[in-house]
Amino acid sequence: MADRLHIGALMFIAYRSAENRIIDAVRRAGFEDLTVPQARILARIGPDGTRLSELAEQAQVTKQTATVLVDHLERAGYVARTPDPRDGRARLVRISGRGADLVPIARAEEARIEAEWTAHLGPEQMTRLRDALTELRTITDPYGAPTS
């Protein structure tokens, strides 16, 4: 039993492989200036924007680090800061410009990865994996676990 990797490590290995492939695909498409830490922040921005403090928490970095990363992303044209309509004092980070251009590239690579994993595992096992991981979100994802 000691020679078996912990389930968390196995999930991390698969995640890291997917993340690296997505970042490589984006860079091959001409977005060479995007760093891995910047990509991790960018990937956590919700469709309606996300507050900087939430991005920092989700990326598990300090607010200062998240600020520096968002500053770089903003200067490079990937994101924009806009007023939060729910709180005039707060700002939201939103994907814009170059960021919106890279999203379809990242999504296409995600689809390729999922297709490869499905071909490797088979459709039934891939469905079971997805269902199990989706169920685990109810006890592991503080940022948006589905309730149903």
Cα(148)–Cα(145) distance, integer angstroms: 9
| Amino acid in the structure at residue 132 | A
- Each residue of 28-70: pLDDT tens digit? 999 999 999 999 999 999 999 999 999 999 999 999 999 999 9
Percent of the chain, pLDDT > 90?
88
pTM of the model as a whole: 0.87
3-state secondary structure of 79: strand
pLDDT category at 2 given cuts 50, 70, 90 is: low
Domain segments of the chain as ranges: 7-140
Q: Given 1.10.1040.10, 3.40.50.1980, 1.10.3720.10, 1.10.10.10, which CATH number is that of 7-140?
A: 1.10.10.10
The tally of CA atoms less than 13 A away on the side-chain side of residue 63 is: 4
Strand order in the sheet with 50-51: 50-51, 87-95, 79-84
Task: For residue 50, give both structure tokens.
Answer: 């996300």
What is the longest distance spanned by two Cα atoms in the chain?
Answer: 55
| Dihedral sign (CA 145, 133, 37, 43) | negative
Average pLDDT over residues 110-128: 98
